[in-house]
Structure 1
């Protein structure tokens, strides 16, 4: 065997091996590498998209929180105004009721004073008649002297 022929046969075997590798082995490897690169690219794109969506969601959440804070503050202010109005109204009603009760009490006191004066006048008239009867030692008829007793009441 000659070195040239060995070298020639080894070159042919090498070329067949290269052709076989290029035809059957290399395409699946390249395909797997391309698929892997595509998956990585898709994953990076999805991660960027998720970051963008997360940032937008955070903005929406902050906006909704600000709106709810404003709405809550508005509701609290309205509730406080309503409470103040209710308190003011209750005070006004209580003052009106107190004035009414005071006026009624004054009227009752005035009536009782008037009734007490009338009762006192009647008692004084009776005492005056008894006193006059004692002085005159005779009986004075109250029905006969009603005009005289009426004048006496008015003077007292």
Structure 2
């Protein structure tokens, strides 16, 4: 049982050693420990403040980015609308120009057809006139004794003309 109860001398020397260690720690180690704890506390506080500031800046940047994205989407929509309008305008202009060109070509074709038609009619009239003159000339040259001979001769001339 003597091992479990400490002696008074041992207790006193332990107390003296504890006080000496406490005084040495207070004189030499306590200030640096407190100083490092204070520095660590201020570093943590600065880090928290910096993190809060960065968080606020990030929130502000995010709102600015969202505003920029919204503006970019709006501008893209306007550009697409302008491009569609320009495309429709160009297509309509091309259609109008094609209609004008088609009408011009049709008008020129009608003029050409009318001029060819008139030339053909003139040619036919000239040929008919020549044929009439030739028939008349042949009729007058032939001696026409009777009406039957006259009709037979005219009929043969008409058949001859039809064959040509």
Give the TM-score range, shorter chain: 0.7 to 0.9
Q: Does 1:129 align with 2:133?
A: yes
TM-score, normalised via structure 2 length: 0.74
Q: Which runs of 5+ in 2 are unaligned?
A: 1-7, 143-164
The separation in 1 between residues aligned to 2:132 and 2:44, in whole angstroms, is 127
* Matching residue of 2:158: none
Q: Does 1:34 align with 2:65?
A: no
Alignment CA distance shift 1:65-1:6 (3 Å) = closer
Root-mean-square deviation (CA), in Å? 2.4
Matches within 5 A, 1:135-146: 135-137=139-141
Alignment CA distance shift 1:126-1:13 (3 Å) = same
Q: CA deviation at 1:17?
A: 3.5
* Matching residue of 1:151: none
Number of aligned residue pairs: 136
* Matching residue of 2:76: 72
Q: CA deviation at 1:97?
A: 0.6
Alignment CA distance shift 1:45-1:126 (3 Å) = same
Q: Secondary structure at the match of 2:58?
A: helix
Q: CA deviation at 1:19?
A: 2.9
Q: CA deviation at 1:13?
A: 5.7
The separation in 2 between residues aligned to 1:134 and 1:89, in whole angstroms, is 66
The separation in 2 between residues aligned to 1:7 and 1:116, in whole angstroms, is 150
Q: Deviations over 1:28-68 (max 9, x none)?
A: 11111111111211111111111111111111110110010
Q: Which runs of 5+ in 1 are unaligned?
A: 139-156
Q: Which has the higher contact order (CA 8 A, sep 6+)?
A: 1
